[in-house]
A and B are shown apart, each in its own frame.
Chain A
Amino acid sequence: MSEARVDIQVEHRHVPPAAEKHPNTCPKCGSHYRDDELEPALWVCGHCGHHFPMRARARIEWYADPGSFSEEASEVHSDDPLEFFDLRPYAERLAEAELNTGLGEAIVIGQATMDEHPVELAVMDFAFMGGSMGSAVGEKLSRACEHALERATPLVVVTSSGGARMQEGILSLMQLPKTVCAVEELHDARIPLFVVMAHPTTAGVLASFASLGDVTIAEPGALIAFTGPRVVQQTTKEKLPDDFGLAEQNLRFGHLDAIVPRDEQRAYLVRLLRLFTQT
């Protein structure tokens, strides 16, 4: 006969979340900075070199020659074709993201010059719904490709994204072939595409335009993975290497051309621009 059993169920869902660290506290070494300290340091920890997330507009300001950037397709916004509702309506999440970030979408595109080389820039911003790619992001990235093609200028893309935006369902998935197609046109026209992968570059964005650059570099410590470590661990129960999915591992396995610290990226890109465009 079976003995009486006591079932113990541990309820994880209502555990209060751990106190969140201040965004200006370095998650690696614990150093804390004021905003006016981080900004001139390009949001890199002066103590350990950790790269804090960099907002799209700040990065454009850092890459582009002063006053040279002119934004394009800022009128393209997300729609809500599925009238998606999870715990909150998608429309509400979008409005909140716009308010909090001051951006219309998770990517900013436009033309600029870098050290007087004309260039098209497309820079993603993780602060806008995790940099997720829905129809609007796919459209803006495709337009950036088209503008680069029309003006025959190289395209520099900075990625920072959790992947496709679930709230637009299958249409988000279709942004993968759509952006691949836009990059394909660039390749055909021999327009250079340089990709800078910032933390994190994962899932749908890694599985489309981000992986198709002529030259691909990453920021130190950036997570670059189709499937992130948590999901890999949960599904396969495999023991993960310490640097699983990080830029350093991707470099070792041949998926990147270089890891370039933020303060060296501008000079690195300018060198590429010169090499690819001099006659």
Chain B
Amino acid sequence: MSSGAEDHEVNLRQRLSGLSRLPLLRGARVSGEAERLERQLERLKAETSDEEIWRSVELARHVDRPYTLDYVERILDDWVELHGDRGRADDGAMVAGIGSLDGRTVVLVGNQKGRDVKERIARQFGMPYPEGYLKAMRVMEIGERFGFPVISLVDTPGAYPGVAAEQHGQGGAIARCQMAMMRLGVPTVACIIGEGGSGGAVATAVADRVLMQENAIYSVITPEGCAAILWRDGSQAKKAAAAFKPDARHCLELGVVDAIVAEPPDGAQTDHDEAARLLKGSLLEALEELEAFDGDDLRRRRRAKFRGMGVFA
């Protein structure tokens, strides 16, 4: 193994450290966890195949995958959902509220898809209008004012592509939501829990720690959209996904996310309770790490992190 590859592995191990320390700290099913983590590390070391990338795309969109409110009910001890952007509407694709996480009050915002057809339509398939981003900003400001950490769960195919959404200022809302998150003086943790689709996803993912579930995807455009533009054929989505690599491993490698959150062996859809337990552990650990910093430190470090994103010659 060349030293470059070794460095790479060390790097991966460090990034995964959040993951590998977590079950040991929590003390539950230590051996089973350790074994799974080893397996996971093995898998991460091997080059992800195009098939595996596509499997992530399918699992990230699985109809039984836990959504934000499924996690809320399992992770938070208490939860008061807040509604409305105080201007125009209450966007069902973005839920926001205040809850109790392991004895501390947190603000939580998240995209919400629907379980049945009726709910899916009511929640626009998890695609927020500008009103959704305004609602998220409003509730995050409560966190800022009262010193509550902000947790953001991201699961959207993208911001809603409609006439009214444009007229209400979709682009500007996404830009301002990012800026609002950049300004927060409280610890912020985001986790991509399903689809992290484009600007609509990054709008609420500008956090001190950005986590990503094992089978989530995070991308600049949907595989179908990319295929339609570059291959001029929407059915080449698999090829497009293989080319732009939206899977967790590549996002970790590129420095876009800070750690990967483990899922139950066959994906989060198989065991919501277990998926929630693993997510809760990672969120708590990320928040613990951030406790050491005051507001100015957090802002400065957050800005420095995002300022450094990208690869150029």
The answer for the CA separation of A139 and B221 in the assembled complex, in Å, is 21
User: Residues of B contacting A101 with CB < 8 Å?
Assistant: none
Question: Residue B233 contacts which of A13, A164, A184 (CB distance < 8 angstroms)?
Answer: A13
A249 at the interface (CB under 8 A from B): yes
Residue from the list B159, B175, B303 in contact with A185, Cβ < 8 A: B303
Q: Are B172 and A84 in contact (CB under 8 A)?
A: no
Total contacting residues, chain A, CB less than 8 A:
64
**What sequence of 0s and 1s flags, for each residue 71-103 of chain B, a beta carbon within 8 Å of any chain A beta carbon?**
000000000000000000000000000000000
- Taking CB as reference atom, which chain B residue is nearest A138? B310
Q: Which residue of B lies closest to A183 (CB)?
A: B179
Residues of A within 8 Å of B312, CB to CB, are 76-79, 134-136, 139
- Expressed in whole angstroms, the minimum distance between the Cβ of B179 and any Cβ of chain A is 5
Please choose the segment from A39-47, A52-60, A239-247, A257-265 that sits at the chain B interface, where 4 or more of its residues have CB less than 8 A away: A239-247
Q: Would you give the shortest CB distance from B143 to chain A, in whole angstroms?
A: 18
Knowing A181-B182, A226-B170, A226-B174, the reply to whether A176 touches B199 (Cβ < 8 A) is: yes
Number of interface residues of B (CB under 8 A): 53
A177 contacts B245, C-beta separation under 8 Å: no
Residues in A with CB closer than 8 Å to B295 are none
For residue A171, give the distance in angstroms from its CB to the closest CB of chain B. 5
Given A166-B244, A255-B169, A87 and B178 contact (CB-CB distance below 8 Å):
no
Residues in B neighbouring A168, C-beta threshold 8 A = 220, 311
Q: In the complex, how many angstroms separate the beta carbon of A173 from the nearest chain B beta carbon?
A: 4
Contacts of B4 in A (CB 8 A): none
Interface SS majority for chain B:
helix
Contact pick for A238, options B163, B178, B183, B202, CB 8 Å: B163
The reply to whether A178 and B220 form a contact with Cβ atoms under 8 Å apart is no
Which residues of chain A from 107 to 158 have any CB-CB distance to chain B below 8 Å in the complex? Answer: 134-136, 138-139, 142
**Residue B267 interfacial (CB < 8 Å):** no
B114 touches A (CB below 8 Å): no
B117 lies within 8 A of chain A by Cβ = no
Q: Chain B 215-248, CB within 8 Å of chain A: the 1/0 string?
A: 0001111000110011111000000100111100
Q: Is the CB of A176 within 8 A of B171?
A: no
**Contact across chains for B161 and A235 when beta carbons are under 8 A apart:** yes
B220 contact from A166, A209, A210, A245, Cβ within 8 A? A166
CB atoms of A169 and B174 under 8 A apart: no
* Given A135-B309, A180-B182, A207-B172, 19 other A-B residues pairs in contact with their CB atoms under 8 A: A87-B231, A134-B312, A136-B313, A166-B220, A166-B226, A169-B219, A176-B175, A181-B307, A185-B303, A202-B171, A203-B171, A207-B175, A227-B161, A232-B161, A235-B162, A236-B162, A238-B162, A238-B163, A253-B169
Q: List 29 A-B contacts (CB under 8 A).
A: A77-B312, A82-B244, A84-B243, A86-B243, A136-B310, A136-B313, A139-B310, A169-B243, A169-B254, A170-B256, A171-B254, A173-B198, A173-B218, A174-B256, A176-B174, A177-B178, A177-B306, A178-B309, A184-B179, A185-B303, A210-B175, A212-B176, A226-B161, A227-B166, A232-B162, A235-B162, A238-B163, A244-B163, A253-B167
Task: Report which B residues bind A (CB closer than 8 A).
Answer: 159, 161-163, 165-172, 174-176, 178-179, 182-183, 198-199, 202-203, 205-206, 218-221, 225-226, 229-233, 240, 243-246, 250-251, 254, 256, 303, 306-307, 309-313
